Homo-oligomer: A and B are copies of this chain.
Amino acid sequence: MVFNIFVLIKNCIIFILCFVVLPCCVYGKEVEMFDILIKDGIVLTINGNNEVLKGAHIGIKDKKIAYIGKDDNLLAEQYIDASDKIVLPGFVNTHTHVPMSIFKGIADDLPLDVWLNDYIWPLESKYMDKETVYKASLASIAEMIHSGITTFNDMYFFENEVARAANETSIRAVVSETLMDGKTVNSKNFVEGLAYSEWLIKKWQGNDLINVGVAPHAPYTASSDLLIKAKELANRYGVIYHIHLSETKNEYNTIKKEYNSTPVEYLDNLGVLDKLTMAAHVVYLEKNDFDILKNRKVSVSHNPESNMKLASGISPVYGMLRHGINVSLGTDGVASNNDLDFFDTMDIAAKLQKVYYMDPVALNAQEVVMAATLGGAKALNLDQYVGSIEIGKLADIIILNIDDMHAIPLYNPFSQIVYTLNPADVSYSIINGKIVMAKGNILTIDEEAIKESIIELQKFISNDLQ
């Protein structure tokens, strides 16, 4: 009897093991079904150790990165073959004015005052309205996706239209209405601008892709009253404060003369510099400014192409990085670039620092890719969500072809990205776990329709200008 009970217990255990535990384990294995599995890529993780994994797979589940490794037996709803391709976090463009794409090439190689007074400002006041901002944003977003950008930080007018375009096309964005003392195309004064900004923040709260910031234009176009009120608004909602800072020698001289302090010191004295401040350009700095930016944890958006094209000057970003300041990269608006090609931005950023510091070691390719990804995410206060390929982060990932003639041979993927590749090499873009571009085709935008609408607008503007 005792024996029988033991036998019974033994049989029960065997039964449970065979028909409950084992199937559960197998079933458990089976239900590990990813939404997307990116297979066999050269993965630049941009994680803490900056690991590069060769032949690794990335599993995406519920918008997030759920697996990074080399298990070949994983299952997914959708597979992307990334063998002989580079896989890395999407680029973060931390300073741009996307609706300005409609003015691409309309006024180049001109003195700054002629460019602004005779072209950009009259053109803006004449042609920029909600509909144009929306259409031009769609065109720029398409260009940015082709260029590997998965997040952009915009400062312009009618920013709700920029947000609408970004949301519809599934790109991550931080949008901020430009605030100036005077009238803008979207507000009579800065009080209206602040009200619009607050409305915008509330409107997009809780949206997966759209974040809203507060953006006083610059120390020389926004009074101290505006600068402070804008920061109060940003603080109230815990959003970023996006501002042009120390961009030109003129601005530097104006502020120095008026306040006996550098633009950076001036903003620090107003108490508007902190971890949520994203300062664009930052070309003219004194020694003390480096300490202020570092101590206040301000992030910088370096825009080398615009700084060169407008002859603003060369930002000492290699010095800032060495000083422990977070540096990110921006294209600036198309009118001063003239494109949204992030590969150009990276290439020129690296080369410009080398010749500026007369040191070929300055700003190496790995530092540039860091600035273009995690540095950008940090600058926009999004680094806990995006900017690197790590378990638990949202899946903002791009996949680059490296089989065109110009991409061969490949010794160092960081070098290749910064110095060699082009937007035409961007094959896939995944944003927030969704495939928005596959094999160079954007899935969320009707590019032909947008092109037509932009060409129509161009014809109208061209006829009008004659």
Which one of A62-70, A169-177, A410-418 contacts B? A410-418
| A419 B115 Cβ-Cβ under 8 A | no
Residues of B within 8 A of A447 (CB): 405
Asked if A406 is at the interface of the complex by the 8 Å CB criterion, the answer is yes
Tell whether A405 pairs with B143 under 8 Å between CB atoms, given A411-B106, A419-B105: yes
Among B110, B355, B457, contact of A314 (Cβ-Cβ < 8 Å):
B355
**Which residue, of A106, A338, A348, has the highest number of chain B Cβ atoms within 10 A?**
A338
Contact A308 B351 (CB under 8 A): yes
Q: Scoring A residues 351 to 388 as 1 if CB is less than 8 Å from chain B, else 0, what string do you get?
A: 11011011111101100000000000000000000000
- Please name all residues of chain B whose beta carbon is closer than 8 Å to the beta carbon of A419 when the two chains form the complex: 105, 108, 309, 337-339
Listed residue (A337, A409, A415) with the most chain B CB atoms within 10 angstroms of its CB: A409
Q: Is the CB of B341 within 8 A of A416?
A: no
- Asked if A109 and B361 make an inter-chain contact with CB atoms under 8 angstroms apart, the answer reads yes
**With an 8 A cutoff between CB atoms, is A280 at the interface?**
no
User: Is A104 located at the chain interface by the 8 A CB criterion?
Assistant: yes
Q: In the assembly, what is the distance between CA of A314 and CA of B357, in Å?
A: 12
Classify chain A: how many residues form its interface, as a range.
Answer: 35 or more
Asked if A165 lies at the interface with its beta carbon under 8 angstroms from chain B, I say no
Which of B102, B106, B311, B405 is A354 in contact with, Cβ under 8 Å? B311
Assess whether A431 is interfacial by the CB under 8 Å rule: no
Q: Which listed segment binds B: A180-188, A289-297, A420-428?
A: A420-428
B409 x A311 contact (CB < 8 A): no
A348 to B343 alpha-carbon distance, docked (Å): 13
Q: Which stretch (A13-21, A218-226, A271-279, A448-456) binds chain B?
A: A448-456
Q: How far is the CB of A249 from chain B (nearest CB, A)?
A: 8
Chain A stretch 21-48: residues in CB contact (< 8 A) with chain B: none
- Nearest to A351 among chain B residues (CB) is B308
User: Are A311 and B424 touching (Cβ within 8 A)?
Assistant: no
* Residues of B close to A108: CB separation below 8 A: 364-365, 412, 415, 419
Answer whether residue A305 sits at the interface, using C-beta atoms and an 8 A cutoff.
yes
Chain B residues with CB below 8 A from A254, complex form:
none
Q: Does A307 sit within 8 A of B, measured CB to CB?
A: yes
Contact, CB under 8 Å: A357 / B139 = no
Q: Which of A389-440 contact B (CB under 8 A)?
A: 403, 405-406, 408-412, 415-416, 419-420, 422-424
**Complex: how many Å from CA A308 to CA B308?**
13
